[in-house]
Amino acid sequence: MTLGKRRERERVLSGIQPTGSGSHLGNYLGAIRHWVQMQDDFDAFYFIPDMHAITVVHDPAALHRRTRETVAELVACGLDPSRCTLFVQSQVPEHAQLAWVLGCITGYGEANRMTQFKDKSARGELGAATVGLFTYPILQAADILLYQADRVPVGEDQKQHLELTRDLAQRFNARFGPTFTVPAAYIATTAERLTDLQEPHRKMSKSLPPGGTIYLQDDPKVLTKKIRSAVTDMGREVVVGPDKPGITNLIGIHAALTGQSTQEVERAYAGKGYGEFKADVAAALVATLEPIQTRFREIVADPGELDRILGVGADKAEEVASATLATAFDRVGFLPRARGAQ
Ligand code: AMP
Ligand code: TRP
pLDDT at 206 > cutoff 90: no
- Based on the domain organization, do 226 and 175 belong to the same domain? no
Q: Please give the distance, rounded to the nearest whole angstrom, from the Cα atom of residue 232 to the centre of ligand 1.
A: 23
Residue 273 shares a structural domain with residue 309: no
CATH number of domain containing 223: 1.10.240.10
Residues 111, 99 share a domain: yes
32 belongs to a structural domain: yes
Question: Residue 105's domain is classified under what CATH number?
Answer: 3.40.50.620
Q: What is the pTM of this model?
A: 0.93
- Complete DSSP assignment for 80-143: -TTTSEEEEGGGSTHHHHHHHHHHTTS-HHHHHT-HHHHHHHHH-TTSS--HHHHHHHHHHHHH
Q: List the strands of the sheet with 85-88, edge to edge.
A: 85-88, 43-48, 11-15, 151-154, 184-187
Other CB atoms closer than 10 Å to residue 100's CB: what's the count? 12
Average pLDDT, the chain: 93
Where does ligand 1 bind, in terms of residues with CB under 6 Å? 16-17, 26-27, 30-31, 154-155, 188, 192-194, 203-206
Q: Residue 14 phi/psi, 5° resolution?
A: -155, 165
CB contact at 8 A, 166 and 182: yes
Give yes or no: residues 19 and 110 share one domain.
yes
Range of 277's domain? 210-298
43 and 108 co-located in one domain: yes
Cα-Cα-Cα-Cα torsion 211, 213, 217, 218, nearest 10 degrees, comes to 30
Is 90 found in the same domain as 23? yes
Residues 40 and 103 in one domain: yes
Which residues 6+ apart lie within 8 Å of 123 measured at CB? none
- Same domain for 117 and 256, yes or no, is no
Total tally of structural domains belonging to the chain: 2
DSSP 203: B
pLDDT tens per residue across span 228-282 = 999 998 888 999 999 999 999 999 999 999 999 999 999 999 999 999 999 999 9
CA distances in angstroms from 56 to 19, 106, 342, listed in the order given: 10, 22, 43
Catalytic pick among 120, 226, 244, 278: 120
* Residues 296-325 pLDDT 10s: 999 999 999 999 999 999 999 999 999 999
Rounded to the nearest angstrom, the distance between the alpha carbon of 295 and the centre of ligand 1 is: 22
